[in-house]
Amino acid sequence: MGIISGLIGNASETDLADVKKDYGKLLGRNEDVLQAYQWVRDLLIFTDYRLILVDIQGATGKKVDYHSIPYRSIRHFAVESTGHFDLEAELKIWVAGLGAEPLVYTFSKDADVYKVQALLAECVGK
């Protein structure tokens, strides 16, 4: 299912200062990190202009694949909250040009998936 399909585990919110320090070289001149979520090594970074997918590959982690998705390319998205027996929340994002299947992200029960949804609604609606 693409870049994220190989991720194991659930995402949790990560410190923005660390993300800005480690990935600031990816940002445009006036671009700012709004939220970031991390799996074991991979990241989902929300900026005020785009979504950045950071896929750290290999055993050493020296090879890194960066994907940039402008918010205008997001056709629609869905959020599924946690339940009594399902302790994971999901975010699905349909991107123009990537076919009918969405990108799927699983979040830990501690992550506020409604915060993610609100940010996407704001950014996609610009």
SS3 per-residue string spanning the chain: CCCCCCCCCCEEECCHHHHHHHHHHHCCCCCCEEEEEECCCCEEEEECCEEEEEEEECCCCCEEEEEEEEHHHEEEEEEECCCCCCCCEEEEEEECCCCCCCEEEEECCCCCHHHHHHHHHHHHCC
pLDDT in tens, 3-16: 443 344 666 788 89
Task: Give the total number of structural domains in the chain.
Answer: 1
Q: Which domain holds residue 79?
A: 11-125
Note whether residue 6 is domain-resident: no
Instruction: Provide the whole-model pTM.
Output: 0.81
Residue 77 lies in a domain: yes
Report if residue 3 sits inside a domain.
Answer: no
Residue 17 pLDDT > 50, yes or no?
A: yes
Residue 79 domain flag = yes
Task: Check which CATH number belongs to the domain holding 48 and give it.
Answer: 2.30.29.50
Confidence at residue 9, expressed as pLDDT on a 0 to 100 scale: 60
